[in-house]
Amino acid sequence: MINLETPRKFRPFIKQAHQVAEEFLRANSRKYDLAEHAYPKELDLLASLVDGMGDSGQGQGAGAAGVRRDDADENDKGSKVNNGTNMSSVLSIIEMCWADVGLLLSMPRQGLGNSAIASVANEEQLERFKGTWAAMAITEPSFGSDSAAITTTAVKDGDAYILNGEKIFVTAGDRADSVVVWATLDKSLGRAAIKSFLVPKSLPGIRVERLEHKLGIRSSDTAVIVLDNCRVPAENLLGNPEIDTKQGFAGAMATFDNTRPLVAGMAVGCARAALEDIRRLLEDAGVVIDYDRPVQSQSYAAATFIAMEADWEAALLLTLEAAWLADNRKPNSMEASMAKAKAGRVGNQITLRCVELAGTLGYSETELVEKWARDSKILDIFEGTQQIQQLIVARRLLNLTSSELR
């Protein structure tokens, strides 16, 4: 049975994460929003603390965790409930993004690429790439949400692969020391031939072309990366190098089973911040929010707040469910997409509605709610747009393939 209460063993850690978020990330939120592309050097110390907690076991998986089911003990299935790295990562991310999404995305060694490594790398690779800060490069100029449309190529040449292509919207692409690049081994074989490669940025042939100026998450760098005959060691292909047409795209897509709940957690944390702030502003203005009275008998502002809170609660529960399933070695692909779809949409809707309810305060830099509204939009877009998530959920529910339901 799923229990989505915060596990007792995580409560001290979550309290600590909230304290860090409040005293450091929230305190520096506006500073680095205004100083776009300036690296938040204070994050180095914070990342070292997270690394130390993880190494000592105190962090309970604070870092980028992975969805791994191949190492599950068949005898343990259904015998006990696990609350592990996926749940603790989501809970800590909610706290961090209650403070600042962009600064969370700028944390060294906690990139989306690190989640990809944790999800699909073999045991030897996990040990070899330990300590790297990995960005994730999927999107290209020719496509957005359809990851199967990748045109970046990887051609085997002796003991290496030669990578060629261009990647856009790479989060932490400039600051990270390596990039997980998605490329195809053979375009004629379609989705099954898409693999991910760990590409150190020290290699010849990989370069950052430019940094993007953005609506939100300005404290996080977003880069365009070009691969020009970049020679990558063959052992840097993450996971199984064999092309399995029966498995199709499942190997590469396993990464999203992990990263989508994390992004959902980001949206949940950002929306919670907006809800707490607008409640304070409404109460200061004399608005009474009464849970014991029907919403139709309350003011518009109070009724709107209660409706937003209900939507937020649904997003939170879906996010925790997806993380719980991953920790318990159960399929969570549909639930990960459901969580991402719900949290991404309502997170953005909540922050925008909070701007509306706050009036002139909501549109000025006096309050952070205007920043949260800008930051939240990307959470409905990256790691698969709202429309893509709904399509994935529909395919799972109807038991249809991607070719049968487009």
Residue length of the chain: 406
What is the Cα gyration radius of the chain? 21
- Residue 137 sits at φ, ψ, to 5 deg, of -115, 105
Residue 363: CB partners within 8 Å, gap ≥ 6? 355, 370
Q: Helix 26-34 vs helix 85-99: angle between axes, to the nearest 10 degrees? A: 60
DSSP summary character for residue 180? E
- A 10 A CB-CB count for 406 gives 9
Distance of CA 166 to CAs 94, 191, 202, Å?
32, 18, 17
Distance separating alpha carbons of residues 392 and 72, to the nearest angstrom? 25
Q: Which residues pair with 184 in a beta bridge?
A: 153, 194
- Residue 180 sits at φ, ψ, to 5 deg, of -85, 110
Q: 244-263 as b/e, with b when 16 or more CB fall inside 10 Å?
A: eeeebeebbbbbbbbbbbbb
Task: Determine whether 383 is an active site residue.
Answer: yes
Distance separating alpha carbons of residues 364 and 404, to the nearest angstrom? 48
Tell me which H or E stretch contains 200. strand 194-200
Q: 172-188 as b/e, with b when 16 or more CB fall inside 10 Å?
A: bbbbbbbbbbbbbbeee
- A 10 A CB-CB count for 100 gives 31
Question: Which is catalytic among the residues 5, 23, 383, 404?
Answer: 383
Q: Which amino acid is at 323?
A: A
Q: What is the DSSP string of 103-143?
A: HHHT-TT-SHHHHHHHHH--HHHHHHTTT--EEEE--BTTB
Residues with active-site annotation: 383
